[in-house]
Every structure is written in structure tokens, then in C-alpha cells.
A and B are shown apart, each in its own frame.
Chain A
Amino acid sequence: MSASNGTSLGRDAWKRLRKNYAAMAAMVFLAVLSSLSLLTPLLPLQSPYRTDASRVLAAPVRLDWKSNGIQVLDQDGLFDRGRISNEFQELGFVSKMLLQIRVLALGEGCVTSILGTDELGRDLLARVFWGSRVSLLAALVATLVSLVIGVSYGAIAGYLGGHIDNLMMRFVDMLYSIPLIYVVIFLITFLSQEKVSAALEGYGIDRMTIFFLVIGAVFWLTMARVVRGQVIALKEEQFVEAARALGANRGRVIFLHLVPNLFSVIIVYLTLTIPNVMLFEAFLSFLGLGVQAPDVSWGLLANQGFRVITPIRIFWWLIVFPGLAIGLTLFALNFLGDGLRDALDPRLKNQGS
């Protein structure tokens, strides 16, 4: 790297990442997935909530453009004109607009149930797509929460040092030795007690927000440890001293001078945290403790698939397709995370996990 033509850390990493085909493929997959889930209201899907007693547990049908590609189903079938937008009770403003645009552009046509239907006759394809919105949102929000807590906690402990650092880190050690999934379940049960949730509702915190916050509050421990280590290494550097000499207070030094220097470490741990958080959301929703109907998430869909198993019959599509959605996404996230770690911090390469 010559002085006249330096490459920034980001550009350098990007160059390395581009050579990693698996990671790039994962990135493209994730980009497509997130745009599709963002634009779900625009897609010609059936309503994810509309039940239909005549199509309960229907097996997947093959998509055939000539006979059943995109259909407008009349009263006897699914929708009559102008109905699709009435299927949703609670929908954000943007989603409502998108839905209107879809009806204007594509009419009421819907893709047939190529993934089959569930025990209430709801279309699984639509449910997987609408569920992706909740699952991805949960992963993002909870990860951000864990990021904020972990980075601030670690940076403060590392910068202050001494007894405070010691105390703060013993606390982290203690939390490490508690099986956190149990604590989270305990907390969620507690917080969703009617009285408690009514009180929280008063502050404008609904169940979903609590859920996101609690998951995020679990996954900050590793981040805090890593950030603390880095801050301790950096805090004797001259730029910190310079900032202090210029009269910057502690908060300013920590959050404006130290934390930006941890960018690559933070990114690496972030990409490793997102799949864990997603998995955790799926776990909790699967157990019936996370996302609640009528909302849909992938974990909840898988749970519903398992609930209709009987010793003699299995409705495989209800398990396979939500499972595939979770599996592929987590797979892509893992690949991208590994690739990013190798790109941003080549020293870590080939060090196991």
C-alpha cells in the first residue's frame, strides 16, 4: 500500500470479499430475500390470513401458467374484486400503499397455492413471505439492541478500567453461567402477564417490542467482552490522548474516538450474531413463546407444521417449506459472516469457529 494511493480498510475488505464466491452468492441471496420481503405487499400473493374450509391441508399443486398460473378467484374461490386489501386489519401505511399499487397494476390475480395450504386452508406461500418480514425484522432489531448494549457496556468497562471494569466483567461472567434461554422464557412469561403488559402498553410498548428487546438483551455478552479487549488495547494510543488533551470528556472519547475504530471487529461479531438471533427467534416462536398469531414468522409456521403431525399422517409441506426458508437464510448468513470475517480480519482466517 503506497502512501499516494492508499486503500481504505473497507475497500480492501471489499476486494477480498468479492473473490469469495460462496460469500458473494450468500450476499446476493440475502439481498434478494430482503427486497422480496420488503416488497411482499406488491407480490401477487393470496392473503396470508384468509381461511378457506374447502381447501384445508391441500397438498402443493404444480404451477402451470396456462391453466392455473395467476388466477382471479371469484366468490366461490378466494377473492372477488377489491377484496384483497380488506383482508388485512392492521397494516402500516407504506404496506397499505404497496398493496393498493399491486391491485392497480396486477389486479386481484394471485398465484395458486404452490406450497399447499395449512390446517385452516390458508395459503402457505403467502404465509412464508409475510412471515419473512417478521423473522427478518426480529433479527435486525434484536441484533441492533444487542449491538448497542454490548458496545457501550464493553467500551465503558474497558475505558474506565480498574474496579469498575472488574465489577462489570464479573457480572458478564455471571450471566455467562446462566442458561439464558430459560431466563428469556421466564422474562417473556413475566412480561406478558396481563397486568404487566397492560402497564407496558401504556408506555406504547407492545408484545412484539418486548420480544425484540428481550432477545437483544441476551446476545450482547460476547460483544461486550470483545469490545472491552479492543478498547483496552486502544486507549493508550496517542489519538486518544490527543482527544483528551483537547478537552473531550469521557463519553466523547469513548463513543466518538474509540468506538469508530472498532468498526471491523463490530461488523465481524455482528454478522455472527444475526444468525444466532434469528435462530433464537425461530426457537421461541416455535415453542409458542415468541410471535403470536395472527402475526406470522417462520418459527411459528414450522411449529404449526409440527402440530398437525399424527402418527399416521404427516403434512410434509407444512414442515419442509418453512424449514427450508429458515435453513437457507441461516446458511446464507453463516456463509456471509464467515466471508466477512475473513475479509475484514485475515488474521482470524482458519482459526476454527
Chain B
Amino acid sequence: MIRFVLRRLGWIVITLWAVFTVSFFLMRSVPGGPFDSERQIDPEILANMKKRFNLDAPLYQQYWRELTNAAHFDLGYSYKMADYSVNEIISQGLPVSASLGVTALAWALALGLTAGVIAAVRRGKAIDTLVMSIATVGIAVPNFVVAGIVLILFAFVWPLFPVAGWGSPRQCVLPAFCLGLPYAAYIARLVRTSMLDVLNQDFIRTAKAKGVPPTAVVLRHALRGALLPVVSFLGPAIAGIITGSLIVEQVFYLPGLGGYFVQAALTNDYTLAMGLVMLYTLLLSLMNLVVDLAYTVLDPRVQLP
């Protein structure tokens, strides 16, 4: 167990280092930079700026300095948003993105599990067909289309929620709904299939024969086994929710990390973009590790390699 975790952590470090190195040399090989503007800058100011962005030494020294900084979680200064360090931007944006992501994930899990269990228990009935059709639509239709439709319906036609902005729980409802919907749909499909599998197994028949009430059979005995595929889907789901929040934050004008990233990409703000890529790589790898560990807790038969 400990060896497994250590090895995985080792891989995470290697991955982060590779991401850092590749993006560092890509960044340094383009002429653009923090002083990529038309007007002439004083040589003194230029020298100061170079110093601030660690651009005043030979390349290998720059690389080493930035690498040690990054290892101490210091990601440097933003190229384009003057006076902001990447860490400051992250500390502003991360809470927004994280709370949005957690809300979306919680709601996706709640809806997906309920819908999947109901569909499996009522297999072949009208409600099964209905739930599964909605799930297919939910998977196929992109985030921003859903966002557009709910905006039209619940912000304009029937003004229940504000159009954009961040701060109150009401402003979180529509974005979290849009962000979570495809994952709810996917989870519903997964749960239904694995639930049907589990419900056909012998131990369920035994439980029923013992006289366990049907609800308890489904919720206590079957659901536990049916959760396994959902747990392994959580890794990709978290990745997807992080990715999807790029779009949702853009549509609803939320001050999260996704918005900053798009901004960084559009304005060639390399330090910020690179910092965010590394942050997300770290988050994603850690989440995958947690998911793998959770898997062994749920299913004792699974051996860690």
C-alpha cells in the first residue's frame, strides 16, 4: 500500500517535471514576453523587468532558478497582469472554481445515482426508457448549448436566477447544473448497467430469500457493488469537470481559474498559463490516486499493483 502510494507520487513528480520542462523551453523559444509591446522601453526598465521575470541569466541558469522556485510552489509573476503573481491569481480563482466543481460533482452524483438506480429497478418500464433517453441527450449535447438553453429558460423567460456573476448560492445554481449534467447522465448509465449486473447475482437472491426488505436489498446490498464503476469514473469525471468549467465560467462570467486561463491563452500570458497547467496536472493526478485508493476500500478483491 505505502509502496504503491510512493510510486504513484513519484510518477506525479516526474509528470510535473516533464510538463514544466517542455513548457519552459517552449516559452523561452518564442520572442514574445512581458515587454512585448510596441513602444520603446528604457534600457534600465528593461533590465529591471528582465530581473523580475528571471530573464537576465543564461538559459540553463534561468531554467534551474525557475525549477527550484516551482518546486517551492513559487510560480513567478504573470506576464500580462502587471503586479500579480501567479500564486495570487490562483488563490483568487481557485476557491470559485473549486466550489463550483464540488457543487457540480455532488449534484451529478446525487442525480446520476438516483436516476440510475430507479432505471435499473424499473427495468424495461416507461420510466427506464425515459431516464435513459434523457441521459443520452445529456451526454450528447455540449455544455454551452445546455447553458444557453437554461439561460433562456430560467433567466429570461422565467427569471428565477441571475444571468451571471458570483457570490450568492443562487448564482451558483445554473452554472453547477450545466457543469454537472453530462456527468449525471453518464453516471446514471453506468449505475444502471452495473446495478442490473449485480441484481442478477446469487447473493442478492439470498438476501431476498432471507426476507430483507426490497429497499434494503437495493440500497444496502446491491448499490455497494454497483458503485465500483462509478468510483473509477470519478477520475475522468473530475478531469472533465475541471475542463468543462472553462466553458461554464466563460458563459456565466464567473471569476474562476478557467476564465483566467482563457485570458492567459488569448493574451499570450505564458507564466500564468504554465502555472495553471501545472496546477491542474497536480490536481488531476492526486484525484486519480485518491480514486484508485478508494477503489480498494470498496472492493477488497482489488489488489494494488
Residues of A participating in the B interface, judged by any CB pair closer than 8 Å:
173-174, 177-179, 181-183, 185-186, 188-190, 193, 195-196, 275, 279, 282-283, 286-289, 302, 305-306, 309, 311, 314, 316, 319-320, 323-324, 326-327, 330-331, 333-335, 350-353
Q: Check A174 against B141 for contact (C-beta < 8 Å).
A: no
Q: Check A286 against B265 for contact (C-beta < 8 Å).
A: no
- Chain B residues lying within 8 Å of A181, measured Cβ to Cβ, are 243, 246
**Given contacts A177-B288, A190-B26, A283 and B247 within 8 Å (CB-CB):** yes
Q: Check B242 against A179 for contact (C-beta < 8 Å).
A: yes
Is the CB of B82 closer than 8 A to any CB of chain A? no
Q: Which 7 A-B pairs have the closest CB atoms?
A: A323-B145, A319-B148, A331-B140, A352-B193, A327-B141, A179-B280, A330-B140
Q: Check B142 against A186 for contact (C-beta < 8 Å).
A: no
Could you name 28 residue pairs across A and B whose Cβ atoms are closer than 8 Å?
A174-B18, A177-B11, A178-B284, A179-B239, A179-B242, A179-B277, A179-B284, A181-B246, A182-B280, A190-B26, A190-B270, A196-B30, A275-B140, A282-B142, A283-B144, A283-B246, A283-B247, A286-B247, A305-B148, A314-B155, A323-B149, A326-B142, A327-B141, A327-B142, A330-B141, A333-B140, A352-B194, A353-B186
Main secondary structure of the interface of A (DSSP, over half): helix
| Per-residue contact bits, chain B 173-189, to A (CB 8 Å; 1 contact, 0 not) | 00000000000001001
Q: Check B15 against A319 for contact (C-beta < 8 Å).
A: no
- Chain B residues lying within 8 Å of A173, measured Cβ to Cβ, are 11
Q: A182-B243, A323-B148, A330-B141 are in contact. List 12 more A-B contacts (CB 8 A).
A: A174-B11, A179-B243, A179-B284, A182-B276, A185-B261, A190-B270, A195-B31, A279-B142, A287-B250, A306-B144, A311-B163, A352-B193
- Chain A residues lying within 8 Å of B266, measured Cβ to Cβ, are 189, 288-289
- Chain B residues lying within 8 Å of A309, measured Cβ to Cβ, are 151, 163
Count chain B residues whose beta carbon lies closer than 8 angstroms to a beta carbon of A. 58
Find the B residue at minimum CB distance from A302: B144
**Given contacts A186-B274, A331-B136, A331-B141, A177 and B194 within 8 Å (CB-CB):** no
Find the A residue at minimum CB distance from B182: A279
Separation of A39 and B151 alpha carbons in the complex (Å):
34
Output the least CB separation between A190 and chain B (Å). Answer: 5
